[in-house]
Chains A and B, each alone.
Chain A
Amino acid sequence: MSNPISILQDQVRAALASDTPLRLRGSGSKDFYGEVPRGSVLDTRGCAGVVDYEPTELVITARCGTRLADLEAVLAERGQMLACEPPHFGPDATVGGCVAAGLSGPRRAAAGSVRDFVLGVKLIDGNAEVMNFGGQVMKNVAGYDVSRLVCGSLGTLGLIAEVSLKVLPLPVEEATLLFRVSEAQALERLNQWGGQPLPISASAFYNGDLGVRLSGAGAAVRAARERLGGESIAPDAARTFWLGVREQTDPFFAGDEPLWRLSVPSIALPLDLPGRQLIEWGGALRWLKSTAPAAQVRDAAIRAGGHATLFRAAAGVGNVPVFNTLDATTMAIHRRLKQALDPKGIFNPGRMYPGL
């Protein structure tokens, strides 16, 4: 049986030889994200499987084509989880796609982002070399942190063939509380609570409702519930709600208007933009369903000290770039990094920025 990573490597070699740009793709659950994918599809799903999992090491290593759902099921069996709660956006989302997209879910503000949990990768670069960066241990500062650099790079720096992720125990107890407040009050409270030792693991505000999830040891969750008050949500309803936020199946996300993702400092005041907003991450993430002009949305994000991503939009929104423009110095560094890892530009050309 041929090693699945060598098969991928051969495909990259062949693409290099024929100068064919590659569109790296798992199940396509995140096809919508980033600039329009181009190139001939390299399907990573043949390279699947959990390679190594030792609960006591808090590390799981999986090949890129492993279904994220399968990986999470393996962890759940041992009472563990991916604490960044990455969204799947489809039943067959893969681990490689999750790391390449670098998107994190509701627990992000409390637990960290996907990149925070990346410990190592096996990367196939644009010279078709298979390289190992990082490893399977918690602390490792040998060499530049390429594993985390490629997280969120949308496959433009190389093919993530295998990844090692730090995992955490599932919280012993969870509870969700609901508060009826204005947007300004919600932001004020979230920032206030953020500065206190409370086990808040997620928050979501929409239309006068602020949902707060507590996770942790039984005693901590009970104490926080008493302190914060609010209305308790039944566990099943709460689970459905947070899943809806994570997977964007919540009714908020329905409708044809473009969906913007505004990542701003948590203390940013309510953003006065047309359309509707759902606020996560203690105030640091603001989803906007709006037909407002891109310039207006981006200006608001920049003025608040953050940036705006045109997260989902039906075709025909015009020539609006998906991501905020980088300043000239940073863009030059991006180009040279791309050159360093993918000199022929064969991986996901233009998926993040033109020329990358």
Chain B
Amino acid sequence: MGAIDTVEPGAVERDFSRVDRVALIAELRSILPPAALLVDHEDLKPYECDGLAAYREMPLLVALPDDETQVVAILKACRRLGVPVVARGAGTGLSGGAMPHKFGLLLSLAKFKRIIKVDPVARLAVVQPGVRNLAISEAASPYGLYYAPDPSSQIACTIGGNVAENSGGVHCLKYGLTVHNLLRVRGVTIDGEIVEIGNHALDAPGYDLLALITGSEGMLAVTTEVTVKLVPKPQLAVCLLAAFDDVAKAGNAVADVIAAGIIPAGLEMMDQGATVAVEEYVRAGYPLDAKAILLCEADGTPDEVAEEVERMKAVLGRSGATEMRVSRSEAERLRFWSGRKAAFPAAGRLSPDYYCYDGTVPRKRIAGLLEAIAELEKKYGLRCINVFHAGDGNMHPLILFDANVKGELARVEAFGAEILEMSVALGGTITGEHGVGFEKINQMCTQFRTAEIRAFHRIKAAFDPDGLLNPGKAIPTLNRCAEYGRMHVSGGQVAHPELPRF
């Protein structure tokens, strides 16, 4: 199907409908053992969506290679045959990044599960991309070390997925995101070339491709090996729970903590809807009459923690906290966190479905955005509970709905689109950590202008000239943005809600 080299990269969506499935099967059979190639409908079914179950697509085939040589051969074959390739880790992504392509191969890295090396002296771990985030910290634990970024999905999500999304966690404020905790990524380009990005030193010659590949959503290369940094476990961590009788006060308290020169190890916020929901589920002991609570963590040596907790208490007291509790034991600290970590499943118990958004705003805008969300709940007749990485301004509104009620998902999408566009208007972004994927592709047209979108496509083409890696994700085509611009009336009203949205 030849490259469309007369058209600028990313101008229009490519048509892959003429991909030859039979030829692809024949090619892949020569590369993979029979069990590593799934072709039957019922075997493909489990791969039809990622953690964002609202969007589904059946892949043409699923390949489960178990070494890099096979990945190279698979990618070369797909390049030759012009077949789209969607890489997949654990499929916990929340933006449809690993959602299959109808005419493409789903490339699962599930068998790349080996921790190749944990080097406690150099404080690094070399792992295959299918290794679970938490497994790295578990392997490092005997040495008093751990891998810092800790997404709430850490028991399931893979490091390959973390690299692709630049995932964060509750401790990112102090310890950084995935991009700050990587030393090296090894990957395979669509041409089947091996790229070594970074090394075990603190920098590498040339452009910072490590930063570029991190968060690139499987669009530039397939990751086959990762070296992560390990950091010493703090001696002690203590969590401070502060309650507020007003959401705006809680939002402002976050800014006050930072203004006082404190960088907490974690600084999370939940609104009343969220605390009530999780309380029924995990009994974290949250004060249920509070309009919002903050969880504020201090870590370090015992003296250091004591000093920081005192400073935090003083600030939060001045900011109007109505109640403060300090965890007195590790068990109690974990209990404070258990509610925050259980927010998603708790939402799942409140309602048949929920939809999690991921905008980020400057801290000082948190309170305003929360008020706006409360208004939108009325406008759309849908409930929304809010949990978020407040220290980073990264919001996770969870909109509750029932996918079986006709039109509800469309209302959720319109609601969510308004939140995201508002985040951009407030000086923030449409995605703090979950990625654009398939889900936020239209909002990219709001956040970026044509010049940037075109530059993104040219960068993509520098790695993948035929646009075969994860097509239709992360960066919208210029054509799509033009369409979206036409049908999108400012103020968040979609002009023709009855029409299918692409």
Contacts and interface: CB of A to CB of B under 8 A. Distances in A.
Query: Is chain B found bound to chain A in the same assembly?
Result: yes
Interface of A: 54-59, 79-80, 102, 108-109, 112-113, 115-116, 125, 129-133, 135-146, 148-149, 151-153, 157, 168-170, 172, 191-192, 194-198, 216-220, 222-223, 263-267, 281, 284-285, 305-307, 309, 323-324, 326-327, 329-330, 333-334, 336-337, 339-341, 352-353
A58 B123 contact: no
Contacts of A341: 455, 458-459
Contact of B206 (A144, A146, A194, A334): A334
A192 B143 CA distance: 11
Interface in B294-345: 300-301, 303-304, 306-308
A11 B177 CA distance: 37
Contacts of B428: 135, 137, 140
B418 interface: no
Given A196-B232, A222-B303, A137 B203 contact: no
A261 to B, nearest CB: 10
Interface in B343-402: 360-364, 389, 391-394
Contacts of A142: 429-431, 436, 440, 444, 447-448
B263 interface: yes
Contacts of A265: 122, 199-201
B256 A340 contact: no
Nearest to B221: A333
A169 B263 contact: yes
Contacts of B459: 144, 146, 337, 340-341
Nearest to A325: B205
Nearest to A148: B211
Contacts of A153: 207-208
B122 A191 contact: yes
Contacts of B173: 138
Given A138-B432, A142-B430, 8 more contacts: A109-B202, A142-B431, A143-B456, A148-B208, A323-B206, A333-B209, A337-B207, A340-B455
Contact of B204 (A168, A219, A267, A307): A307
B301 A152 contact: no
Contacts of B262: 169
B435 interface: yes
Contacts of A195: 120-121, 123, 143-145, 232
A339 B389 CA distance: 38
A311 B202 CA distance: 16
B270 interface: no
B488 interface: no
Given A141-B215, A285-B202, A329-B189, A223 B209 contact: no
B427 interface: yes
Contact of A333 (B195, B256, B304, B394): B195
Contacts of A145: 166, 179, 211-212, 214-216
A125 B303 contact: no
Interface string B426-460: 01111111111000100010011101100110111
27 contacts: A112-B176, A137-B362, A138-B172, A138-B173, A138-B360, A138-B432, A141-B433, A143-B456, A144-B220, A149-B208, A194-B123, A197-B234, A198-B232, A217-B308, A219-B300, A223-B301, A263-B202, A263-B203, A284-B202, A330-B195, A330-B196, A330-B197, A330-B209, A336-B461, A337-B207, A337-B462, A340-B459
A148 to B, nearest CB: 3
A137 B393 contact: yes
A246 to B, nearest CB: 16
A54 B179 contact: no
B290 to A, nearest CB: 23
Contacts of A80: 261
B258 A56 contact: yes
Contact of A197 (B232, B308, B392): B232
Nearest to A171: B261
Interface of B: 119-123, 143-145, 165-166, 168, 172-173, 176-177, 179-180, 189, 193-197, 199-209, 211-212, 214-216, 220, 232-235, 255-256, 258-259, 261-263, 300-301, 303-304, 306-308, 360-364, 389, 391-394, 427-436, 440, 444, 447-449, 451-452, 455-456, 458-463, 474-475
A305 B124 CA distance: 14
A112 B180 contact: yes
B31 to A, nearest CB: 21
B206 A135 contact: no
Contact of B301 (A108, A138, A197): A197
B61 to A, nearest CB: 27
A354 to B, nearest CB: 13
A131 B455 CA distance: 9
B159 to A, nearest CB: 16
Nearest to B448: A143
Contact of B432 (A115, A137, A334): A137
A220 B462 contact: no
A112 B210 CA distance: 14
A186 to B, nearest CB: 14
Contacts of A309: 205
Nearest to A151: B208
Contacts of B195: 329-330, 333
Contact of B256 (A56, A222, A326): A56
Contacts of B308: 217
A349 to B, nearest CB: 15
Contacts of B200: 265, 305-306
A136 B392 CA distance: 11
B205 to A, nearest CB: 4
B202 A281 contact: yes
B202 to A, nearest CB: 5
A141 B165 contact: yes
Given A140-B431, A194-B123, A307-B201, A149 B207 contact: yes
Contacts of B232: 194-198
Contacts of B143: 195
Contacts of A334: 206-207
Nearest to A123: B455
B276 to A, nearest CB: 27
A176 to B, nearest CB: 19
Contacts of B448: 132, 142-143
Contact of B261 (A79, A223, A281): A79
B452 A139 contact: no
A192 B179 CA distance: 24
A242 B451 CA distance: 43
A216 B263 CA distance: 11
Contact of A352 (B206, B362, B462): B206
A142 B452 CA distance: 11
A341 B454 CA distance: 10
A266 B199 contact: no
Contacts of A139: 168, 172, 177, 360, 389, 392-394, 429, 432-433
Contacts of A56: 255-256, 258-259, 363-364
Given A116-B180, A219-B307, A353-B206, A305 B199 contact: yes
A239 to B, nearest CB: 20
A327 B123 contact: no
Contacts of B193: 329
Contacts of A58: 258
A221 to B, nearest CB: 9
Contacts of B427: 135-137
A339 B460 CA distance: 12
Contacts of A138: 172-173, 360, 391-394, 432
